[in-house]
């Protein structure tokens, strides 16, 4: 009784399901095209979302930093002590960290590495001890002696606390294995700024503010104070960098979705072909239906229902496969597969399923219109 009730209430859908099973192989191949299209759109979309999440994750805590370098109108090759004092006078609660940089070659563990050397005063503002700080030393507030190395450099050269490193003829003992708070990790050796005393100018001044708003306010004060007449310094906030990167990742995401949508267009053509062949083969059957009083709108609904069934099946399978891909991507990149259920990522499953069903429905419009408008007498003749 329940099944008969369904047939009575949804005859178009029941006929569509019957016809799907009647030509299982052909219908399955058409649905496979939708599956591929949905997987392409959803997977590429989730890859883009993962890239954007990674960018935001890495830069999110850095919006409180301001980078100051020599401006186009600065007569010197870098920032002077006077420039640094001017930057400190503008500061309220901000920490001003001038830096000098160079490069050198270090040996260890039977290998050589070309490393970046950074001279700083307040190391703790830019570098933090790794999680196992008890065994990997400290990042002192005032770095007056010793050296700090990044985990990658320590691993490559097999360096440990207390090991000596030589720079410019002077020996420094490692007192901490630290991670950079922002850019500049990798192969980096951090020394007291006095170790680079042969360099007259500072390459960069990094200003650490309490929060992002304070960083923006500091940048505005520097522009008003130091750059009132000439571009003495160039001021860059990490918020600007983050906005530029997020704009790029959004554009990349749209490009990836465009590539994925091509496969759905191909799948739509395949469904159009399947539906046309199906209506031609069933021309006599449709003619009988029209002859016994079935209206054009009902024939139209029946054919469109068949196309929609293909789209729903293909979209459902494609969404499930894409979910598996998303779980794998987030596990591989972040070790957190549950991120796939966040809306920024999960929405592409919805988009892929919706686009697949819509593409299938649109592919059935012409075959449905053609079948519904075929004269019953001509259809019965075959």
pLDDT for 299-321, tens place per residue? Answer: 788 888 888 888 888 889 999 99
Q: Are 131 and 159 in contact (CB under 8 A)?
A: no
Q: What is the mean pLDDT of the chain?
A: 80
Q: What is the DSSP letter of 94?
A: P
pLDDT in tens, 27-64: 787 788 888 888 888 888 888 888 777 776 666 556 78
Q: Percentage of residues in the chain with pLDDT exceeding 70?
A: 84
Q: What's the whole-number mean pLDDT along residues 285-306?
A: 77
* Per-residue pLDDT, 109: 66
CA dist., res. 116 & res. 248, Å (int): 28
Output the pLDDT for position 138: 57
Closest Cα to residue 177, out of 193, 163, 197, 167?
163
Instruction: From 115, 38, 66, select the one nearest 311 (Cα to Cα).
Output: 38
* pLDDT of the residue at 321: 93
Return the SS3 of 354: helix
pLDDT of residue 5: 46
- Mean pLDDT calculated for residue range 267-278: 78
Scanning the chain, the segments in alpha helix (DSSP H) are 2-9, 11-22, 24-59, 81-90, 133-136, 151-157, 212-226, 238-281, 283-291, 296-334, 343-363, 365-372, 376-381
Q: How many CB atoms lie within 10 A of CB 217?
A: 15
Higher pLDDT, 251 or 68: 68
Q: Which residue has the higher pLDDT, 185 or 344?
A: 344
Mean pLDDT calculated for residue range 101-116 = 83
Mean of the pLDDT values across residues 315-338? 86
CA distance 353 to 227: 54
Q: Is 174 helix (H, G, I), strand (E, B) or coil?
A: strand
What is the chain's alpha carbon radius of gyration, rounded to the nearest angstrom?
33
222/239 Cα distance (integer angstroms): 16
Report the alpha-carbon distance of residue 19 to residue 356 in Å, rounded.
20
* Cα dihedral 302/306/312/314 (nearest 10): -170
Which position has the token pair 């805590």? 61
**What is the model's pLDDT at position 62?**
61
Least-confidence region, from 76-80, 94-98, 243-247, 375-379: 375-379
* Residue range 115-142, pLDDT digits in tens: 999 999 888 888 776 544 434 555 566 6
Q: 6: pLDDT confidence band, cut at 50, 70 and 90?
A: very low
Q: What average pLDDT does range 208-224 have in this prediction?
A: 88
State the pLDDT confidence band at 221, using cuts at 50, 70 and 90: very high
Per-residue pLDDT averaged across 289-293, rounded?
73
The per-residue pLDDT for 134 is 39
Instruction: State the pLDDT at residue 132.
Output: 44
pLDDT for the residue 97:
92
């Amino acid at each position: 009784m329940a099944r008969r009730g369904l047939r009575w209430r949804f005859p178009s859908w029941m006929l569509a399901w019957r016809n799907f099973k009647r030509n299982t192989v052909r219908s399955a191949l058409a649905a496979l095209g939708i599956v591929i299209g949905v997987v392409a759109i959803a997977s590429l979309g989730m890859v883009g979302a993962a890239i954007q999440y990674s960018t935001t994750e890495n830069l999110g805590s850095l919006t409180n930093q301001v980078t100051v370098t020599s401006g186009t109108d600065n007569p010197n090759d870098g920032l002077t002590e006077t420039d640094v004092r001017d930057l400190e006078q503008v500061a309220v609660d901000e920490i001003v960290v001038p830096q000098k940089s160079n490069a050198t070659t270090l040996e260890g563990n039977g290998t050589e590495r070309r490393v970046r050397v950074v001279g700083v005063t307040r190391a703790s503002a830019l570098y933090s001890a790794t999680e196992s700080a008890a065994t990997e030393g400290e990042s002192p507030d005032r770095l007056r002696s010793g050296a700090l190395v990044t985990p990658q450099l320590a691993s490559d050269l097999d360096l440990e606390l207390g090991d000596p490193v030589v720079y410019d003829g002077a020996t420094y003992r490692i007192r901490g294995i630290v991670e950079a708070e922002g850019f500049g990790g990798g192969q980096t050796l951090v020394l007291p700024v006095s170790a680079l005393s042969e360099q007259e100018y500072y390459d960069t001044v990094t200003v650490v503010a309490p929060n992002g708003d304070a960083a923006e306010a500091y940048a505005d004060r520097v522009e008003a104070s130091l750059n009132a007449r000439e571009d003495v310094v160039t001021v860059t906030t990490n918020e600007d960098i983050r906005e530029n990167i997020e704009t790029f990742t959004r554009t990349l995401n749209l490009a990836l979705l465009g590539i994925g949508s091509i496969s759905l267009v191909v799948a739509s053509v395949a469904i159009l072909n399947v539906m046309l062949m199906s209506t031609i083969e069933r021309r006599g059957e449709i003619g009988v239906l029209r002859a016994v009083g079935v209206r054009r709108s009902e024939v139209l609904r029946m054919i469109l229902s068949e196309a929609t069934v293909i789209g729903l099946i293909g979209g459902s399978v494609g969404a499930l496969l894409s979910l598996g891909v998303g779980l794998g991507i987030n596990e591989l990149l972040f070790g957190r597969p549950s991120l796939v259920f966040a809306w920024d990522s999960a929405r592409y499953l919805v988009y892929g399923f919706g686009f697949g069903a819509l593409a299938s429905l649109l592919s059935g419009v012409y075959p449905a219109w053609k079948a519904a408008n075929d004269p019953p007498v001509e259809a019965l003749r075959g």
